[in-house]
Structure 1
């Protein structure tokens, strides 16, 4: 039976798209804003700006003091945070129903009037915060630079997805207050934003509240961002190796996948699950259980809006075995999947896993709101929340085989290897 969440939309005169998805089972509302600005929208020499603004948005605005966004909403019982990614920056909170007006007022104030509070002092402060985050999450963490290495290997120099969201510290150091203000003015505007309310609010009340708090934000016209040309799969393998003090040798094998919201992407996503997404997956059964070449395997598939997506397989090499042995086994499984489709038993397991994962995610109003915002902002499809699972379950074994043959072959790979230093091996 297809999902049937109520999803209603309207667009305010200033261009803000508003989505309301009522759910009165719990007296809370997920307030979710997606802004179409991520690291792929940054210019050369201005990387890291989208992520910097995620931080600055909590440093006060016209009518909200520094730190007050967290303190007031948490005092009202809310959970809140924000994240930055290639295609977007999102801001979200789950609030008790009675705190909805407070949340919307504070969100409208910072989305419309942040620059009233942006000064040299808080710019310098948040630059330092971002630098410390880079040290903790990237520079001083085992395998911390794996994702930036993968992005740079999979996507060519100059491509919008080539650099990570953390950006260049040199670019941030060089950023003037005027650079930062111009970046905000270019991207933070109603017509570039989606507001989703999911939870204990009626459609009429949600639309009225959005108009009350966001309706006065000015209309800002900007030329549309030109689409990014699609990238085909890699045709020549790319390789990056690091030697560091890591717990074990690790192999990441990454691929260019088709753009999100396409049949081929869904087939690739299921292919990645089949290979490494479950305890019954092919790689887990072979390289962990049977041949014991790896301690564990994992996979990720990132659906992106810029004409290409990213898929990744990974494994930690087991003691006594080599990177080369593990890579050979993975490549053999890629070739096998391209040669013959999954069995009916494998398809049953894939479909059951997909059903569990989607239903479990959508049971949370926060995750449901996030999904709705994503597909409204990036694909103009707010009702995809109701058809996504149906489309996943409709993927055939033959589609998975064909997608694997086109996108997931050894010649399509960008491989990033982390090898332990001799001292790390001696300490093991």
Structure 2
């Protein structure tokens, strides 16, 4: 058991480890009679094998389809009838499940999470697999395949991370791999990754720590650990791609667009915080440099933004998105981008820009930490990815400690032509002519 760490925000957290390896993070907050239960499993798309992409995300759905003592849709029904809310998400690096409950219903949420951690396989059938496979395939159609620019980030990620790299594919997976997934594939995946020693459980809010720990031990303590988790494939990469990768995509989209991905420093480093500030100055909000230049001044674009996708096991990624105001504008946008990035790399942010960007990021951080659900998620994140839940409480201090020179330096190193994968979208009126061309 780790002792309490007091944060500058006034919150404390303690970490406890059960005999089966489950790490439990408790943080009291008695302002409102609510509590959040958040469970992170250290499994995401980077852990998947070739030919079986999408399994981590598929399991996010299967986990809501019943377990040993909870049938069908009852997980939703139990939580919602108790006045709570719930969901789950999947990323490259983790899968999480969470409930926000009236404080007196925390035991119910813990029982539900333990029942599916310890007993999902008793309820997993070919029928439930087929049902959720179809749900995920339909989600892919609705969010990726059948919407304008829907596959842009999937294409860019595949360009920024080379073939064979564990981050080369998105968590949604491919249709072919989803079709090929068998019931035994799912059982093996669950046994390997959905074990207590591969998870972090955070409970935050109006709780009694002693009673809550007793419930955790009661419901989770008898679930056996699993020691067969393979070491994830190495995500190490060169800091820059080494050349510009560019593709032109002809699709039925509303307007031309230029989108790009840049490798950035890994999450958990000062470089990642400096990159976050740099991208906020350049592309977050109406006062950002890209919006000011491309949208308001030159009127080349109707939207221009760039943000950071933080990744801890490999390079983070800066995602640039510019929607052109008309045909023929992409070349001018490309020139303007090069000018803005070069100027920023030479001069860095002004004092006012640095202060404004740090204030924007501070507000986002405080908004997250203001809710019991947001705080529980951050505690799980830092415990899972960095080994210390209490780093969540000092993240803002580290961000505000970044200097203008660090911001300039990361831009000079990373926002360069030989470190970007570029997609140029050109509209076509004929949906039958959808094709990709390498420019």
State the TM-score, normalizing by the size of structure 1: 0.96
C-alpha contact (below 8 Å) 2:47/2:232 kept by paired residues: no
C-alpha contact (below 8 Å) 2:312/2:385 kept by paired residues: yes
More moved, 238-247 vs 71-80: 238-247
The answer as to 2:116 corresponding to 1:105 is no
Q: Distance in 1 between matches of 2:173 and 2:137?
A: 10
Q: Distance in 1 between matches of 2:91 and 2:285?
A: 26
Q: Distance in 2 between matches of 1:149 and 1:229?
A: 18
Aligned to 1:78: 84
Matches within 5 A, 1:25-424: 25-223=31-229, 225-226=231-232, 228-232=234-238, 233-319=240-326, 321-422=328-429
C-alpha contact (below 8 Å) 1:303/1:309 kept by paired residues: yes
Q: Distance in 1 between matches of 2:274 and 2:85?
A: 35
* Structure 1 unmatched runs, 5+: none
More moved, 76-85 vs 320-329: 320-329
C-alpha contact (below 8 Å) 2:257/2:424 kept by paired residues: yes
Q: Distance in 2 between matches of 1:106 and 1:16?
A: 16
4+ residue segments displaced more than 3 Å: none
Query: Could you give the per-residue CA deviations for residues 216-253 of structure 1, whole angstroms, max 9, x where no partner exists?
Result: 11122225524624212111011122111111112112
C-alpha contact (below 8 Å) 1:153/1:240 kept by paired residues: no
Aligned to 2:9: 3
1:165: Cα distance to partner? 0.8
State the Cα RMSD in Å.
1.5
Q: Distance in 2 between matches of 1:322 and 1:191?
A: 53
C-alpha contact (below 8 Å) 1:297/1:314 kept by paired residues: yes
Q: Distance in 2 between matches of 1:112 and 1:378?
A: 23
1:422: Cα distance to partner? 4.0
1:97: Cα distance to partner? 1.0
SS in 2 for 1:314: strand
SS in 1 for 2:224: coil
SS in 1 for 2:234: coil
Q: Distance in 2 between matches of 1:335 and 1:87?
A: 33
Report the count of equivalent residues. Answer: 424
C-alpha contact (below 8 Å) 1:272/1:313 kept by paired residues: no
Query: Could you give the per-residue CA deviations for residues 303-360 of structure 1, whole angstroms, max 9, x where no partner exists?
Result: 1121311111111101255111111111211111111121111111112112211111
Q: Distance in 2 between matches of 1:396 and 1:78?
A: 42
C-alpha contact (below 8 Å) 1:240/1:416 kept by paired residues: yes
Query: Could you give the per-residue CA deviations for residues 121-150 of structure 1, whole angstroms, max 9, x where no partner exists?
Result: 111111111111111111111111111111
C-alpha contact (below 8 Å) 1:30/1:365 kept by paired residues: yes
SS in 1 for 2:36: strand
1:4: Cα distance to partner? 3.3
C-alpha contact (below 8 Å) 1:8/1:203 kept by paired residues: no
Aligned to 1:20: 26
Q: Distance in 2 between matches of 1:268 and 1:288?
A: 23
1:104: Cα distance to partner? 0.6
